[in-house]
Structure 1
Amino acid sequence: MEPPTGFWASLLSFLKFLPYFCGLLILGFIKGVLLCPWACLIMAIGISALILGLWPMHLIWTYYCIIRTKLVGPVVKLLLLIAATAVLIVWLIIGIPGSVFAGLVYGFLAPIMATFDAVGEGKEKPFVHCFVDGTWSTITGSCTVVRDVKDLLFHSYFSIMDDLRLQKPPDGEPYEIRLLDIPGALIAAALGLLLDGIMFTLIAFYKCPVMLFKGWKRLIQDMIGREGPFLETACVPFAGLAILLWPFAVVGAVLASILSSVPLGAYGAVVAYQESSFIMGLAYVFSSVSIFDEYTNDVLDMAPGSCFPRFKYRKGKGESSHGNSAPLSRPASFNREKQEGKRPPSRVTSFKNSIDEFNPFKLLDHLFAECRNQGEALVNKGVITMKDIEETKSGKVGSGVLNVGLPAYVILNALLRSAKADSVGLILSDGSEITSDNRPKHTIFDWFFDPLMVIKEQIKAENFTEEEEEYLKMRVLLAGDPSRLKGSLPHVPSLTERKKADIDAFARRLQGITKSISRYPTAKRRFDDLVKALLSELERTMGGSQSANGSQSQAQRLRNSVARMLSQKSMGKTDNIRDEDPEAQMTRLSRTP
């Protein structure tokens, strides 16, 4: 949509849009007030019950994993036990009120956003949808949030703690700390918390009016000229809402600045310990105020630099040496001198590109959709069997063929596809490409994307043949089942011992990345849907092998038998068939009258 040109045309467009926006805002506000109590009730009761019910288990298992781990020494274990106790107590205190607050915010804002989204471009019957959208979806969304929290507290938490318990130190020696440096580090942290807490608060309050009026000025200019976020019709309601809610954004920024003083002040202990010098830790404490002041000046487009002193707090060549820099340490004014020659971004740039950018949840949807397609193909080939589905549903394995091997297999196919196409990013099965420009701007995604790009370049350098690629795929898929791995790997005469070692390294790294992805929010819910789909495909495959006469009833009996068998297995009543071959189980069940 082209924005109007000229002052009067822009003003007329704004006057036409204003009552339309106000009407949608009032309708969304009414829906939010009506649905907010119900969403809050669902989320508060569900999340609070999960926190209280799992808290004793979290406490016991955390202590057990810290005591049993070989990754750290005795002193670090003692400190971890103290820190874990404090974290668990704080989690119990803030978790329940936080669930109430999250329910209020979600129940109120979700209907408002759905109301504005219902009248976007390309929507059919917008008048009906602006009343209907955001009603039942808010209730179901609240239930989904509770389920995702359950998966995080039960599945992701125990998976992370098991890794801590089973992981071994890379060089064979556990991590330990120097006790003599602890007192100086604690004093530096205390001074950092005190000084940074006071100074960050004063700086944030001093600059919050600048952020308030500069933000309003920019948004109002864009609204009158239909530029920036007001250029696209779909973004206009949200951009208009941003004008009204901008003071809350400023308050949130001030609170975030105050809260940031805690980790940044405590980082003085890290500096003091790493440099074995209390003086260096103290120098960082004073320098962090200057770093924060300079950072906020750059964000608010104020005069560069800072009036506070900045000292050298590293004994090396520079204070921003690799791996030891402070969280906010960076070249002065973000290398402003280098940026001055760059052309500033146009204010009339369309927002469609940012809308079409990938986000982690869409990528999870694509990953599990591809897992379903590839899994059904592997089921038809007999690679994925009933035994794999049983073990996954019962939770007996932590790194099985389905929950880790299949997603790693899908990611490997994408890496091979991208390496053959000489892509600078990652090519998905639908032909879309993830690059550094359109990839999700989330730190969590960087943990996955950057290592995958490194693996892709290494695969490209290896230049595998088709037989070697098949060997690698099976190695990745069946890495969690060593008993099947030996008999399922194809014989490839061209594979040398070095290439086999490289393939094993690729498989381990992909399995590790996939296991981390499985802990991502909403991943467990999507994976459960995947297992159900593969179970249905396996039933359909076995049912389709029967004769046309009565095949539907046979498939139904098979489904009931499988459900009964899984139910009995969960109750411990299937000892007599536990060791039976999976194919023999399916054959026997398909013949059950």
Structure 2
Amino acid sequence: MEPPKGFWATLWSFLCFLPFFLGLLLLGIVKGTLLCPFVCLIVTLGNSAVILGLWPAHAVWTYYCIARTKQFGPVLKLILAVGVSIILVLWPLAGIFGSILVGAGYGFLAPIMATFDAVGGGKENNLIHCFLDGTWSTIKGSFTVVRDFKDVCFHSYFSIMDDLRLHDPPNGEPYEIRLRYIPGACMIGLLGIMVDMPMITLIAICKSPCMILKGWNRLFHDLIGREGPFLETACVPFAGLAILLWPLAVALAVAASIVSSFLLGAYAAVIAYQETSVKMGIAYIISSLSMFDEYSNDVLAMREGSCFPRHRYRKNESLHASSFTRPASSRRGSQDGKNPPSRATSFKNGILELKPLKLLDHLFLECKHHGERLVAQGVIQYEDIKESQSSKGGRSRIINIGLPAYSILQALLFSAKANSDGLVLSDNTEITTENRPKDKIFDWFFDPLMILKEQIKAQDYSEEEEKYLSKLVLLLGGDSRRMNNLDNQSPPLDRRKRAEINAFARRLQGITKSLSRYPTARRRFDDLVQSLLEDLEMKLGSIQSANKAQVQHVRSGIAQMFSQRSFRMSKITKSSRQEAQLVNNVV
């Protein structure tokens, strides 16, 4: 869909679109208002039950893991125990209050988005879908939210704490706090808060009118021209609400700046402690004002630079570009009114395809594909799948960790052979640094995988080594008997090569284990395991049926053979009796 050309065409498009948009918005608001109380009640009650039910276990297990871990020294353990006590006291209140907000927001916004999506998804009977879409699906989605929250509180939490309790310190020495530097660092942190909070608040308030005017200018320009976020129907509710609530968004941005100013100022204590220098902490306090000023100028397309000086606050490294700033080549462009970006790109096709949850769905589709093949080959056994569903929390590493790691490894091997700059999926979708999801959580997994892919390129594994690595990634940490068989069948490798392959497999399994803690991962993984179990039971059932049929056929053949033999024996016996009778008569 191309935007209209010319003033009158643009005006006519706007006049036709405005009542259509207002009608859908009103219908979505009505649906959201009706469903919001029920969804909020489901999410609040469900999450509250999970929080209160697991709170005793969380408290006991947290203290136990802190006491038993080898990664922290005694002083740091004591300080962590005090800090954790405060968190545990506040957790039920914060969790329940957050559940109320999440339930209310989801119950109100989900029907609105579904209403707009009903007319933009190529569906038949759009009028019926406008009224029905977002009703029952929102109710089911509220139960899904509760289940994902339960998985995070139960599966992800205990998995993280087990790593804390069982792993050794990275460098062999536990982390410890140097007590003599604590007073000076605390004083610098307090000074940073006292300086940064009022100054950053003043900067944010002074720039808020500019943010309101520039935001409205761009949004109204897109609305009149049916461009940008107004080009796709699915994005219309967000863009329309952005116009109405833009001053509230600016107020929230100012409030977020005030909150961030507290954190920025307090981080001066960390700098002073790490550098063991009060002077470096003061230099950071001044530099943080410059970093925030430059970042806000960048966001608002204002004059580059800052009136605040920036000093070096690290001893052993140069002053790097802060995360608040971006390269000058990428600062303007999209925000420069003279060269606006192309608006003909579909937001639905260009952005939503590379969302993290979409990629997570693809990962589990790959797991299902490889899992079915490995089940058919007998590599994954029935006991592995049943063990992953056991009440012990799913201790089968072959299914829980090995299978996803195996699927990721196949994608890495394919990407390395294709000499790709990113990660190539099985449907030939290539994820690179340019089109990857702009999500910090996704970066935690994507960047290490790119490093592993480069290691695969550098190692240049042979075909036998690739097969051995694939089986090692799947079976590592699982059944010791199968691991021994794998070691006996491994290609001839020297000690160094074998150690490198084992380290690679453990690294990939570690990344996969972190990925399994993603909020929706456990639910999708349970569906995958159930699908594999059904396929395996169907396979075993067909084999048993075939075996029963074969046994029945053999039995019937044996019975028929014995019956024929009995018939022949009876005929022989009858003829023998007749011959004996004839001889008697002659005699």
TM-score (ref. length: structure 1): 0.87
Task: Give the distance between the partners of 2:388 and 2:329, measured in 1 at CA.
Answer: 56
Q: Match for residue 506 of structure 2?
A: 508
Q: Distance between the aligned counterparts of 1:338 and 1:152, measured in 2?
A: 37
Q: Secondary structure at the match of 1:546?
A: helix
Q: CA separation in 2, counterparts of 1:6 and 1:337?
A: 32
Contact 1:264 1:327 in 2 (8 A): no
Q: Is this contact kept in 1: 2:465–2:491, CA < 8 A?
A: no
Q: Distance in 1 between the 2:317 and 2:486 partners? A: 54
1:164 is matched with which residue? Answer: 164
**How do 1:74-113 and structure 2 match up within 5 A?**
74-113=74-113
**What's the counterpart of residue 562 of structure 1?**
none
What is the CA distance between 1:492 and its match in structure 2? 4.1
CA distance in 1, matches of 2:217, 2:269: 41
Distance in 2, matches of 1:231 and 1:115, equals 16
Match of 1:572 in 2: none
| Rounded Cα–Cα distance in structure 1 between residues aligned with 2:376 and 2:76 | 51
- Among 513, 518, 522, the residue aligned to 1:520: 518
Distance in 2 between residues matched to 1:402 and 1:311, nearest whole Å: 52
For 1:335 and 1:446, how far apart are their aligned partners in 2? 19
Which protein shows a greater Rg?
2
Deviation digits for residues 216-255 of structure 1 (CA, Å, limit 9, x no counterpart): 1111012212322233444344323322232232222122
Q: 2:468 aligns with which of 462, 465, 471?
A: 471
Q: Which moved more, 1:245-254 or 1:263-272?
A: 245-254
Determine which of 328, 353, 358 is the counterpart of 1:336. Answer: 328
Worse-superposed segment, 4-13 or 186-195: 186-195
Amino acid corresponding to residue 363 of structure 1 in structure 2: L
**Residues of 2 paired with 1:393 and 1:488: CA distance?**
25
What are the equivalent positions in structure 2 for 1:75-474 lying under 5 Å apart? Answer: 75-316=75-316, 318-320=318-320, 328=324, 330=325, 334-336=326-328, 346-352=341-347, 354-394=350-390, 395=392, 398=395, 400-474=397-471
**1:107 CA displacement:** 0.6
Q: Deviations over 1:342-366 (max 9, x none)?
A: 9955253513453344111111111
Contact 2:39–2:142 (Cα < 8 Å) also in 1: yes
Does structure 2 retain, via aligned residues, the 8 Å contact 1:471–1:492? yes
Distance in 1 (alpha carbons) for counterparts of 2:506 and 2:498? 12
CA contact (8 A) 1:232 1:350 kept: no
* Alpha-carbon contact 1:229-1:351 (below 8 Å) kept: no
Q: 1:517 to 1:438 in 2, by over 3 A?
A: same
Q: After superposition, what is the alpha-carbon deviation per residue over 1:277-317, rounded to whole angstroms, capped at 9, x for unaligned?
A: 12221222233122212211111112223333433323345
Cα 1:485/1:199, change in 2 over 3 Å:
same
* Residues 315 and 38 (structure 1), Cα distance of their counterparts in 2 relative to 1, 3 Å cut: same
Question: Which moved further from structure 2: 527-536 or 222-231?
Answer: 222-231
Aligned residues: 543
CA deviation after TM superposition for structure 1 residue 65, in Å: 0.6
| Inter-partner Cα distance in structure 1 for 2:175 and 2:168 | 10
Which secondary structure state, in structure 2, belongs to the residue aligned with residue 21 of structure 1?
helix
Contact 1:24 1:115 in 2 (8 A): yes
TM-score normalised to structure 2 length: 0.88
1:118·1:129 contact (CA, 8 Å) conserved in 2?
A: yes
Secondary structure at the residue paired with 1:290? helix
Distance 2:85 2:508 in 1: 33
Which string of whole-angstrom CA distances, capped at 9 and with x for unpartnered residues, describes residues 402-438 of structure 1?
A: 0000000000111111111111111112222212222
Distance, in Å, in 2 between the alignment partners of 1:97 and 1:356 is 30
Pick closer, same or farther for the CA change 1:195–1:49 going to 2, 3 Å.
farther
Alpha-carbon distance between aligned partners in 2 of 1:192 and 1:483, rounded to the nearest angstrom: 59
Percent of matched pairs sharing the same residue: 62
CA distance in 1, matches of 2:281, 2:93: 32
Q: Say yes or no: does 1:532 pair with 2:530.
A: yes
Q: Which runs of 5+ in 1 are unaligned?
A: 552-593
Q: Deviations over 1:516-555 (max 9, x none)?
A: 000001101011111111111121111011236989xxxx
Deviations 1:149-175 (A, max 9, x none): 000011001100110111111221111
For 1:227, the aligned partner's letter is: E
Tell me which moved more, 74-83 or 277-286: 277-286
Q: In 2 relative to 1, CA 493–29 (structure 1 residues): closer, same or farther, beyond 3 Å?
A: closer
Amino acid at match of 1:157: Y
Cα distance per residue 1:556-592 (max 9 Å; x no partner)? xxxxxxxxxxxxxxxxxxxxxxxxxxxxxxxxxxxxx
RMSD: 2.2
Note closer, same or farther for the CA distance 1:545–1:340 as it changes in structure 2 (3 Å cut): closer
Q: Which amino acid aligns with 2:514?
A: S
CA distance in 1, matches of 2:415, 2:316: 41
Segments of structure 2 that go 5 or more residues without pairing to the other structure are 550-587
Query: 1:54-65 residue pairs with structure 2 within 5 A?
Result: 54-65=54-65
CA distance in 2, matches of 1:433, 1:457: 16
